[in-house]
Structure formats: structure tokens, C-alpha cells
Amino acid sequence: MAYDAQFLSTSLSFHSLYKSVPQGFRQSKGLILLLVNSRINRNKHTGIFMEMQGNGSPTTSNQSTINIPHVLTVAGSDSGAGAGIQADLKACAARGVYCSTVITAITAQNTVGVQGVNVVPEDFVAEQMKSVLSDMHVDVVKTGMLPSIGIVKILHQHLREYPVRALVVDPVMVSTSGDVLAGPSVLAGFREELLPMANIITPNLKEASALLDGVKIKTVSDMRSAAKLLHDKGARNVLVKGGDLPDSLDAVDIFFDGEHLYELRSSRIKTRNTHGTGCTLASCIAAELAKGASMLEAVKVAKCFVETALDYSKEIFIGNGPQGPFDHLMKLKSNTHNSGRQVRFNPSDLFLYAVTDSGMNRRWGHSISDAVKAAVQGGATIVQLREKDIETRDFVEAAKSCLQICRAHGVPLLINDRIDVALACDADGVHIGQSDMPAHTARALLGPEKIIGVSCKTPEQAEQAWIAGADYIGCGGVYPTNTKANNLTVGLDGLKTVCLASKLPVVAIGGIKVSNARPVMEIGVPNLKGVAVVSAIFDSECVLTETRKLHAVLTEATAALK
């Protein structure tokens, strides 16, 4: 379990995230066809089709077993439910993975601190472990508090007898105050027994120092050295968490896979509700590995999840102590958190789709919020913030300002590419390209209520967007454009081909302006719902006037088709 209260660092680079998440279900002619994506690895994708009979009971088209991704956590119990096995269970549930438990210690603790620890007898720890591993197919084992060398050895022995895909070691040994929670024998057991078996180890600075015989870790350079030294001791991958790095404005983590060092940075989230962040991070990594993700992908997804949960929970208040828990399922504020949110996507919102551009705003002396306000007042029905050269912190603040404007007018606000920004400001969704995060990953992170759009040029890409759970596609470029380098055009014929093939509503993009918008709307395909523009409205002194002009053209073209 995690006793550390450091701020978690999180990666803001999500373009190579994991490729495997459940696809959900489709409905056709009264039968629900459910494709259950089960145990997934790099070489195997086992599934089972189920049909709902008239009486509601499922029958299988084959009798093979459904293998659910499964994590076993070997850790202590937290009576306050912020850390330990309680955090592990909630984290795995949030990531869609089954979690079983082996309890190593029972603690009496709350938001004030730890009042007592009762270590579970070693023979009973062994009995729990054998009970789970001999019966259930466990993909990944994640460790937390291992309070004795005997328990370390028991874990080692059982993993030899019952091999699993991966071992994630969260070395809970040092409290936030610096107290060593594991004696010299346990430290030696970690080094000799667990590190050589670990697929990844996730120490904070104090834990990394303890594992390295007291080496001081005070800088990012020290973290890099520590990661390499821990790898040399046997861990295949190392994530050194720098949340309590002194004098750092950013939260910095170092990930080392034996060949490459990755420096993962983000802004700190200021909140008291950090109890259990270490447990949660390690459990999320384990969950993603159980679903088939690569190690780096698992780390990025886990860090994104923890950042999102921390940000969501920063204003909740549970307990009276200095370190509160956070909400893994992000439901505790549901009665108030959803106020003003676009609950359901309406395809008519695509009618006049305004995409911002920071360079154009600078050219005409417009702030992002002023440009968005003018576009919305001029008739834009949906807004996408596309800001390529802005600091993340500034982007989030600008997005929050634009969100207030859009919601006051009932207009959805999407973020281009940056799912981290969308989550941080609670935007209505994201728009992603073919080289960005997969749409099914975005859906898994954002949830079912958010809007997801995907750029597509071919019928095949449109089909994949539908399968992945997108709400709409953007097709283009229809005409040549200067706003995106090397953007191949599809022309009106290509646009029509994609529209006819798409099961989703379509917005046309690329080089569209007042002078050529009408032919686009007149291609005569019902699921073409509007046009997306950048320079047509934002590359002008008066955004309001240009938006009104384009809106009038689109309205006339649409009326003529009726």
C-alpha cells in the first residue's frame, strides 16, 4: 500500500497508448451480438460471441472459456480504503480488469495516519496465495506491503510454481515522513528475491534510496542514475517516481526499460487527496499489462488515469486528516460535476464546426477566448480548440475559459488531439487523427458520455472509427489547405464516397470557405451534416462577421436541398 503523499507525475504524451480495450456490443434485428474481448496478448486475441435469446439468457456459439484479464494484488488492507488492497480493487475495477487479493497485513488507518498494523501469519498468506493461483488464471501479480522476509519468500516460491505474465512490484517500504517500514531483512529479500523476477518496479525517491543502500536522490539526474542502478539489480523496467523531488515546479518521473530513459513531466496537481496514489499507479500498470499493453503504454495509461482521478477529486473532502483519499471511479461528484455538460452528441452540432488556430489569433491580435466567443456568437455550432504551440498549463486555462463561453451558448467544445487537456478542463470531447491515440483508447479513458471525432480519408478508416466507438468522422481535405502540411485532398468525389460508406455522421474539412462551401453541402448525402473550417473564419479581423457569412451560405444550401 502507498504511504507516500507525493504529487504524482503524469505523462502528457499519449500517442502510443495501448491497443487493446473491450469493444462493447452491437445491436441488429432484435439480437444483441456481444463480442467479449478476453485475454489479450501480442500474439493471441481470444473471443467468444454471445447471442441473447428471446428469454434473455445468453447462449454461446462455441463453448470456449472467456478469459477475463486478471490481476492478483498481494498487499495490506487499509481500513480507511484509500490505499492498499482497497485502492488496488478500485483501480482495477476502473480499468475494467478483475482483481483478486492476498492480504499480508491488516491496518487501522485513516486520513490522519496509521494507528496499528497486524501482520497476517505467513502460513495463512501462503494459503491465500495458493487458493487463488491454483484455481484462477492470473495474468499479472502486483505487490504492495510485504511486511516480512517470510512473506517475500512465500511470494517468490508461489510465482515459481504458478508463473504469470508479469510481476509489478510497488516496494512499500518508506513512509512520507521517512520512516522505514521494512527492516534490513525485507530490503535484502526485495533485492535478492523480487527484483530479479520483477517486470517493473515503481519506487518513490525514498524507496529507491532504501533499495540502493541509502544513495541520495535529490535531482532528476540522480533519478536517472537510480533507475539504471535498480535495473542493474535485476528489475527489467524501472519507474522512479519524483513526486517529492525538492524544488521542482513540474512533477517528474523517470522510466527506464534497459535501453532508453524516458523523462515524463507534467504540472503538479495541488490537492490533499493523494492517499493511495502509489498503489493505484502500480495497480493500473498491472491492469493494462493484463489487457495486453506494452510496458511503456501501460505506464502512460496508468499515469493518465491517476492524474485524471486526482484532478477530479481535488475538491472532495473525506476525513479530517492531512492526506485524504481520491475517487477512483470518478462518481462522487456526479450530482454536481455534470452540470452544464453536453450529455448526448447531436449530429446537427456539426453544421458549422469552428477550429481555432493560434497563429491566426496572433496575426489579428485575438485571444483564444475572444475568437471563440465571436465564432459562437456568429453561429458556430461546435468548437474545436486546435492549439499546437501553447504550453499545457496555458492551454488548460484557455480551454476552461472557452468552455464557459460555449456552455453559456449550448455549444460543445472539443480539444484537438490532447486528451489530457480535455480531461483536465472537462471538455465535451476530443477530435483525433489517424496518427494520434486510437479512438477505442480515447473512449476507454473519456467514458461513454463524451464526444469523439476521428479524421478519415477512406471508407476503411470510417468503418474503423465506427467500430472503435467514435461519434462522428471528419473527412478531408476536400480542397487544398495551408493549415495542415502535406494534407492529401480527397475532393468532392472522395468526400461522397466516404459519406456513403460511413455509419457515422460526417463533417467535411479542408480548404472550405464562403466561396466553395455550397458545392460541399450539395453532394446530396444525408449523413453529411456540415463543414469544419479554420481560416475561413479565424484568419480575419472580424471573426463574428465571417462566421455569420459562412453560416448564411450553409443555411441557404441546406434549405435548397429540402
Residues recognised as catalytic: 241, 274, 276-279
Neighbouring CB atoms inside 10 A of 24's CB total: 15
Question: Under a CB-based contact definition with an 8 Å cutoff, are residues 452 and 442 in contact?
Answer: yes
> Measuring CA to CA, how many Å separate 478 from each of 72, 340, 387, 400?
51, 34, 22, 31
The 8-class DSSP code of residue 50 comes to E
Give the chain's length: 562
Q: Which residues are CB-neighbours of 96 under 8 A, at least 6 positions away?
A: 21, 22, 69, 287, 291, 444
What would the grid cell of residue 222 be?
540522480
**Cα–Cα distance, 556 to 521 (Å, whole number):** 10
- Among residues 401, 437, 440, 402, the alpha carbon closest in space to that of 419 is found at 437
* Residue entry with cell 456568429: 378
**Cα–Cα distance, 89 to 97 (Å, whole number):** 9
The SS3 of residue 136 is coil
* Pairing relationship of beta strands 451-456 and 429-432 according to DSSP bridges: parallel
**DSSP strands (E only) in 216-333:** 238-242, 250-256, 261-267
**Cα–Cα distance, 562 to 559 (Å, whole number):** 5
- Among residues 336, 523, 353, 329, the alpha carbon closest in space to that of 451 is found at 353
- Please spell the DSSP secondary structure of 489-509, one letter per residue: --HHHHHHHHHHH-SS-EEEE
What would the grid cell of residue 33 be?
451480438
Neighbouring CB atoms inside 10 A of 48's CB total: 18
* Pairing relationship of beta strands 166-169 and 200-201 according to DSSP bridges: parallel
The 8-class DSSP code of residue 180 comes to B
What would the grid cell of residue 283 be?
495497480
What is the edge-to-edge ordering of all strands in the sheet holding 45-52? 25-28, 31-40, 45-52, 58-60
Residues facing 102 on adjacent strands: 74
* Pairing relationship of beta strands 250-256 and 238-242 according to DSSP bridges: antiparallel
User: What is the Cα 426 distance to its own chain's centre?
Assistant: 13
Question: Under a CB-based contact definition with an 8 Å cutoff, are residues 502 and 459 in contact?
Answer: yes
